[in-house]
Amino acid sequence: MNRWFFIRMSVLLVVYCTSTPAEMIKHDNPQWEVIEDEVYLQEIPTIIPTDLPLTSVAVFNGEAYAGSKEGVSIVEGDTLVLQDAPVGSVQHLIVLDESLWGITDTGLWRFDGNDLTQISDQPITDICEHNGQMVVLMNKSLCTVEGNTLSLLTDKGVGNAQQVESYSGAIYVHDGKRIGFMELGSITYNYTADWGTIESGATINDMMAMGSRLYFATDEGLSVLRGMTWYNIQGEEGLPYEDTTSLCKGFDRDLWIGTARGTIRNINDEYQYFNHQRYLPNDKVNAVACGDNVTYMATEGGLGIIHYEPYTLAKKAAYYERWLEEWGMKRLGFVHILFEKEGEWLREVSDNDVGYSSHYLAAKCFEYAVTGSEEARAEAVDMMKTVKWSEEISSIKGYPARSIYASNERTIKADHGSGGLPAEWHATPDGQWEWKGDTSSDETDAHVYETMIFLQLVANDEERVWATEHLNRVIGHIVDNGFLLRDVDGEPSRWGRWDPDYLFTPYGQYAQGLNGLEIMNYVTTAYHFTQNPKFQKAKDELIELGYHKNIVRQKLTFHPGFFTRFDDRLAFYNFYSIGQYETDPQLKALWLRSLERSWEVKRIDGTPWFNFIYGAITGNDCEMDRSVAHLREWPLDLRRYSYQNGHRADLHTPPGYRMYSERAKPLSPRETEPNRWDGDFMRLDGTYGGKIVSDPSGWLDAYWMGRYHGMITAPKTDDPSLTTVPDRGLKFGAEPYVGPARPKLKHER
């Protein structure tokens, strides 16, 4: 370390340590509901593709059986093993009276766990259990099973009945259009109900009794008979898709519904939707069966399986940490997404690695503050050094790189720049590295967000010096250059502008609110940590220019092209710090009003990171139940699969919310894709094919932020199997980084 640098750092240490910040904002009596990290059931899907459609599925004695035109197969691991018998094409498998019954084109079969017996060689349509007897629908008649033979029950009025079921002490049938029941020895199709009707013109595909209800799956939704009253369930009632094909009792008082496009689970009056490609090999579902915490779905393209395993959010956090390691998503203090290219998983050195990695750095800071983990602290320090490196590598004081690439590195290197411009990659003098220029407000927002959290929660006295100096340099560059980022060519970067010549012209007028919020936060936060008077002077100048006047309405809602989710992330980066460090009551009232307006528009999404920031700053209710549900509903497999929701019947605005954009309904993470809080959970369709792997840094940031602010408790169990995951030592994704190490920073030399 040279003498000049040592003297400068000594002076800065005196200045910065005199303004050591206190703990982040805390509320004595917050209005949010604290959510306990209780054990919940996490979906874990498996897919077994087949060449032939599967017609049926059943679970018997803990084993799953699937039927096709080839016969019956048993599920063994992730394969289907065809059995020798029964022979013939299988129409239906059902478990009744402690036996597995199979209806094939060769008749009716019974398997009691030891012996397989053919009960009839006649065409059988359906079977049910009624008052201790097995009732069989066959040849326009109803029969009972007596030993290994059939005995006629009635042939009066049965007609072309397709299914038989026992409900409320009576035998019910349907012929695809009408519902009948057995009365005094014959089937009648009259007077089934006194109130309501089944959906007019609907075709009945399945029938099942469940407690007080008799359910009918139709091509017009569900119809439910309760007593002698009809209720119809369609999209308006929350049913995601109305062309329903099959019904199944679940394992947790839930109802499973197969459809022509996916599977639906109804639990506690909530409809959950599972579709191709994450959960099913094909969208057309022919049958559903449930075992102990597992569901099997027979489709036209194979078997979809969803296992439910006990998890806590803490265990999920540990799982995602392992995912990052096993998939090789970390490199040089950055976190990357992966792309599959010619059968190989490659990290993407993206347009914005510093910005995207900020969520993981923040997560490590919050985790350290909550747990005292030295491992979390060490990773936070290492990542903060990479943030500082991004500024030092550019050779322009205070101008950070977007991303850093090691020359000849085996990776996917971003080839695009801002606003349709080409990428700006600049080589370092030694030729070892390239850094991406044309830096924007996105990166600056992330720098301020992650640096201020690091300073508040992690930095010791020595680290506080160089981290604060980093903030001083980056924001100082912007202020010294007239409120803009000045690139290597001496010109402003495309999106790094907060100057009047940009914002107060038609070219940049649309950005007055968001960019005004950003620059006001930059100078406010920088002054808080550095006490450098030029930042207060800059703030006074911005107020005199009227920057504050447009910040309340920073969230643009018209026209639709201006309604962007990625800008929401940028705004909330800034709300989190300016909401804590603003000392002027009148200005703070403006920022809070802006936050209130922005969150009111945003809250329909139900995304926890935004909700937690709003709650942390205001102390108000921030819809914790939806936030935690969102965290629980993230899939464990972070590959981006293709999905479709545009065909759904339930796409309407939930009660208590207003539709601000062209999209009406927020979707669960299980129904869409994981993202870094810059994505759109209201986006209906996505085409990825599993060729992209997202990183969980946004999820981890939100979870540990919630833990830090006391919104989420520690797990209510000390069972390590419910709070941790084992280190498996496996590798799935990108090969380990083998390039040059990050060079020493100036304060390390």
Q: Which one of 188, 215, 239 terminates a domain?
A: 239
Whether 127 has a pLDDT exceeding 80, the answer reads yes
Query: Is there a single domain that holds both residue 76 and residue 211?
Result: no
Range of the domain at 77: 45-124+247-255+272-309
Contact 487, 440 (CB under 8 A): no
Tokens 């009056």, residue? 269
Query: Is there a single domain that holds both residue 293 and residue 410?
Result: no
> Is the C-alpha dihedral spanning 724, 728, 732, 737 positive or negative?
positive
Query: Is there a single domain that holds both residue 292 and residue 339?
Result: no
> Residue 274 belongs to what H/E stretch?
strand 270-274
Is residue 690 one of the residues assigned to a domain? Answer: yes
Say how far apart CA 411 and CA 388 lie, in whole Å: 23
Query: Is there a single domain that holds both residue 359 and residue 459?
Result: yes
Taking the C-alpha atoms of 595, 596, 602 and 603 in order, what is their torsion angle to the nearest 10 degrees?
130
ω before 635 within 30° of 0 (cis)? no
Say how far apart CA 304 and CA 276 lie, in whole Å: 9
Query: Is there a single domain that holds both residue 318 and residue 287?
Result: no
* Residue 179: partners with Cβ closer than 8 Å, 6 or more residues away: 172, 173, 189, 192, 198, 204, 216, 225
- CATH classification of the domain holding 587: 1.50.10.20
Say how far apart CA 491 and CA 399 lie, in whole Å: 13
Is residue 74 one of the residues assigned to a domain? Answer: yes
| pLDDT number for residue 144 | 98
Under the banding of pLDDT at 50, 70 and 90, the label for residue 53 is very high
- DSSP class of residue 547 equals G
Question: In 427-532, which residue ranges form alpha helices assigned H by DSSP?
Answer: 441-457, 461-480, 500-503, 512-530
> Mapped to the 3 state alphabet, what secondary structure does 392-408 carry?
HCCCCCCCCCCCEEECC
Under the banding of pLDDT at 50, 70 and 90, the label for residue 558 is confident
58 CB burial (10 A radius; 0-12, 13-18, 19+) = buried
> Residue 207 belongs to what H/E stretch?
strand 204-210
The two three-digit tokens of residue 147, written as one number: 């030993």
The two three-digit tokens of residue 626, written as one number: 């939806």
Under the banding of pLDDT at 50, 70 and 90, the label for residue 46 is very high
Q: Which one of 309, 330, 354 terminates a domain?
A: 309
Q: Taking the model in full, what pTM does it have? A: 0.95
Under the banding of pLDDT at 50, 70 and 90, the label for residue 1 is very low
Say how far apart CA 180 and CA 477 lie, in whole Å: 80
Query: Is there a single domain that holds both residue 662 and residue 529?
Result: yes
Lowest mean pLDDT among 20-29, 415-424, 720-729: 20-29
Whether 527 has a pLDDT exceeding 70, the answer reads yes
Which tens digits make up the pLDDT trace of 577-635?
A: 999 999 999 999 999 999 999 999 999 999 999 999 999 999 999 999 999 999 999 99
Under the banding of pLDDT at 50, 70 and 90, the label for residue 21 is very low
Query: Is there a single domain that holds both residue 66 and residue 194?
Result: no
Please give the average per-residue pLDDT across 21-34, as a whole number: 82
Under the banding of pLDDT at 50, 70 and 90, the label for residue 663 is confident
CA distances from 619 to 58, 126, 517, 580, 615 (A): 50, 59, 21, 12, 5
Contact 338, 347 (CB under 8 A): yes
CA distances from 326 to 290, 341, 375, 708, 730 (A): 32, 18, 18, 27, 6
Whether 365 has a pLDDT exceeding 50, the answer reads yes
- CATH classification of the domain holding 206: 2.130.10.10
Lowest mean pLDDT among 122-131, 478-487, 633-642, 659-668: 659-668
The two three-digit tokens of residue 519, written as one number: 């620059």
434 CB burial (10 A radius; 0-12, 13-18, 19+) = buried
Say how far apart CA 284 and CA 734 lie, in whole Å: 34
Query: Is there a single domain that holds both residue 405 and residue 394?
Result: yes
Which tens digits make up the pLDDT trace of 446-460?
A: 999 999 999 999 999
DSSP secondary structure string for all residues of 709-723:
TTSEEEES---GGGT
Is residue 16 one of the residues assigned to a domain? Answer: no
* Farthest-apart Cα atoms in the chain, separation: 105
> Mapped to the 3 state alphabet, what secondary structure does 171-201 carry?
EEEECCCCEEEEECCEEECCCCCCECCCCCC
| pLDDT number for residue 12 | 44
Is residue 486 one of the residues assigned to a domain? Answer: yes
Tally the domains of the chain.
Answer: 3
CA distances from 353 to 200, 477, 629, 673 (A): 56, 21, 29, 20
Inter-axis angle of helices 533-545 and 512-530, nearest 10: 160
Say how far apart CA 150 and CA 620 lie, in whole Å: 67
Please give the average per-residue pLDDT across 6-18, as a whole number: 41
Please give the average per-residue pLDDT across 225-249, as a whole number: 97
Is residue 20 one of the residues assigned to a domain? Answer: no
Length of the chain equals 749
Say how far apart CA 728 and CA 400 lie, in whole Å: 37
Tokens 């495309």, residue? 494
Query: Is there a single domain that holds both residue 103 and residue 170?
Result: no
| pLDDT number for residue 119 | 97
Query: Is there a single domain that holds both residue 120 and residue 151?
Result: no
Is residue 260 one of the residues assigned to a domain? Answer: no
506 CB burial (10 A radius; 0-12, 13-18, 19+) = exposed
| pLDDT number for residue 23 | 67
Under the banding of pLDDT at 50, 70 and 90, the label for residue 562 is confident
Query: Is there a single domain that holds both residue 77 and residue 216?
Result: no
Residue 74 bridge partners (DSSP):
65, 81
Say how far apart CA 335 and CA 102 lie, in whole Å: 52
Query: Is there a single domain that holds both residue 700 and residue 741?
Result: yes
Whether 22 has a pLDDT exceeding 70, the answer reads no
CA distances from 384 to 9, 216, 362, 467, 737 (A): 18, 59, 10, 8, 19
460 CB burial (10 A radius; 0-12, 13-18, 19+) = exposed
Q: What is the mean pLDDT of the chain?
A: 95
DSSP secondary structure string for all residues of 86-142:
S-S-EEEEEEETTEEEEEETTEEEEE-SS-EEEEESS---EEEEETTEEEEEETTEE
* ∠ Cα 593 523 599 (to 5°): 25
Whether 17 has a pLDDT exceeding 50, the answer reads no
Percent of the chain with pLDDT over 90: 92
Is residue 437 one of the residues assigned to a domain? Answer: yes
Say how far apart CA 403 and CA 70 lie, in whole Å: 55
Is residue 35 one of the residues assigned to a domain? Answer: no
Whether 272 has a pLDDT exceeding 60, the answer reads yes
Phi/psi for 38 (5° steps) reads -85, 160
Q: Which one of 264, 287, 309 terminates a domain?
A: 309
